Amino acid sequence: MKKSMGLVIAAVASVCFADAIDEGKMALEHKRYFDAAEVFRKACEGGNGEGCYILGVMYEKGEVIAQNKYKASTLYAEACRAHVALGCSNMALSYDTP
């Protein structure tokens, strides 16, 4: 019973984070960058790899939030640990560039 309840909670959490990612992408489209960054930060802290990846891109580019390549690399590593292939790729590239 406890194991199945844990699976239900995990499934609900992943749906909630998927909604959050969509909300963050919509905020980006409407140029609400602070809101988007906050949504992706919360998703990342909750273990959502896509949220970590997108926030990492925001930090790497530095176009909408202050550029911080170290923070970007750290976020890419978190995304990679969550099995987001682009996070792994960007993490590797971040070690190759100054």
Residue with tokens 């019973």: 1
Q: What is the CATH number of the domain that holds 92?
A: 1.25.40.10
Number of neighbouring beta carbons within 10 Å of residue 93: 12
Q: What is the pTM of this model?
A: 0.79
pLDDT of residue 67: 95
27: confidence class by pLDDT, cuts 50, 70, 90: very high
Q: Which domain holds residue 74?
A: 2-96
pLDDT of residue 96: 73
Domain count, the chain: 1
Whole-number percent of the chain with pLDDT over 90: 72
